[in-house]
Amino acid sequence: MIYKSSFFFQEVQNILALQNVDTPLKGGLNTPLHESDFSGILPTPRVQATPNTVLNAVAATPASTFGATPSSVGSFTPGPGGATPAFRDQMGINEGGATSGIEARAELRRALASLPEPRNDYEIVAPEGEGDEHEESEDKEEEWVDDAADVKESRAKQRALKRQRELAARTQVIQRSLPKPSKVSDAAFKPSLNRTEMAKADDLIKAEMARLVAWDVQNNVPNEVYEENDLKTASELIKKDCDVGPPLDASMWAVIEQCSTELVQIRGKFTRIAVLNRGEQIEALHSQFQIYRDWMNARAKKTGKLEKKLKIKLGGYQKKPCADRESIAGNVLL
């Protein structure tokens, strides 16, 4: 009794009960545990209540009902067997009439045996009318689900065609990836002061050029975008009206190269280097060298970033041959 009422004994029982738990897949109730008290490190003292002698005396008095006058010893007639006492049977008088645990388990076993056996019969019943309609719809039209790879490929083709149509509506500068100005100069597209027919036509061309340059540089889409057929027709008309220039042979490329080497940029404009004095020539060449140097630095930074990415991606492949060479060299020396 001392160990059973001990706090440590209860905790040991809780730990053993938690260690010997079956799998939770079986279901059922949780493992019964004793209530733990964490108010202190010492066991909690239990105060036992003072026994009520009056209540025990009344419970021990033979009487049929509570509150009745107790009969004398000579006139006491025992009540019928199995009668419920008025108070709890603290003296253990009626223990002989209680059902034992073995009989209770036997009775429970007989009750469980009388239950019907479980059945694992399954029956699938389709709703009336839906099956026929489904068959009729399949006969009328067979649904075809495209493969995911085919759908992805078709979408990629559609996007490529859309980009081609958008690129066809742009200028030759964008189509051929030619250099373009950094900003739009309004002074280059000022209308002419002359009001002749040729000047009016030239003003219309300048206005259209201003819209196209703004579209290329600032990405300002004009209000009117021409169709591909209209652009082809205009291109053919321009080719008919323009004279055919000389062919681009080796001599023509030599002339172009000579002219490009003679032109230098100074104070925001291109000028022939021969017409400049020595100081202006040095300034123009220095600015040109600075342009090339900035371009080289930008390319070097971009190349360094690419090298770092390749080193991260291919680092394992590069280490593997080195390790193989070291292992082969070690085996040869041995």
Residue 236 lies in a domain: no
Please name which of 39, 45, 59 lies closest in space to residue 5, comparing C-alpha atoms: 45
Residue 11 lies in a domain: yes
In the prediction, which pLDDT does 47 show?
61
Residue 61 zone, left/alpha/beta (φ > 0; ψ -120 to 50; rest): beta
Task: Encode pLDDT of 42-81 as tens digits.
Answer: 656 666 666 666 555 554 444 444 444 444 444 444 444 5
Which 3 state secondary structure label does DSSP give 333? helix
Beta bridge partners of 260: none
The alpha carbon of residue 309 and the mean position of all alpha carbons in its chain are separated, in whole angstroms, by 25
- Give the whole-angstrom CA distance, residue 206 versus residue 200: 10
In the prediction, which pLDDT does 85 show?
53
Number of domains in the chain: 2
Residue 9 lies in a domain: yes
263 DSSP assignment: E
Residue 29 lies in a domain: yes
Residue bearing the bigger pLDDT, 292 or 9? 292
- Using the CB atoms, write b or e for 196-205: b if 16+ within 10 Å: eeeeeeebee
> Which run of H or of E encompasses 169?
none
Residue 330 lies in a domain: yes
Q: 0.85 cut: is pTM over it?
A: no
Task: Encode pLDDT of 137-152 as tens digits.
Answer: 555 555 677 788 888 9
Task: Encode pLDDT of 3-35 as tens digits.
Answer: 445 777 888 888 888 888 777 777 777 778 877
Residue 131 lies in a domain: no
DSSP codes of every residue in 59-111:
HHS--SSTTPPPPPSTT-----TTPPPSS--TT-GGGGGSPPHHHHHHHHHHH
188 DSSP assignment: G
CB atoms within 10 A of CB 213: 20
CB atoms within 10 A of CB 215: 19
Cβ neighbors of 58 (< 8 A, separation 6 or more) are 87
Q: What is the mean pLDDT of residues 278-307?
A: 91
Beta bridge partners of 265: 270
Cβ neighbors of 202 (< 8 A, separation 6 or more) are 192
Residue 269 lies in a domain: yes
Of 56-60, 79-83, 106-110, 257-261, give the range with the top mean pLDDT: 106-110
Are 86 and 65 within 8 A, CB to CB? yes
Beta bridge partners of 148: none
User: By CB neighbour count within 10 A (0-12 exposed, 13-18 middle, 19+ buried), where does 214 fall?
Assistant: middle
Structural domain containing residue 17: 1-46
> Which run of H or of E encompasses 192?
none
Residue 3 lies in a domain: yes
CA 8, 14, 15, 20: dihedral to nearest 10 degrees?
150
Q: For the chain, first and last CA: distance in Å?
A: 77
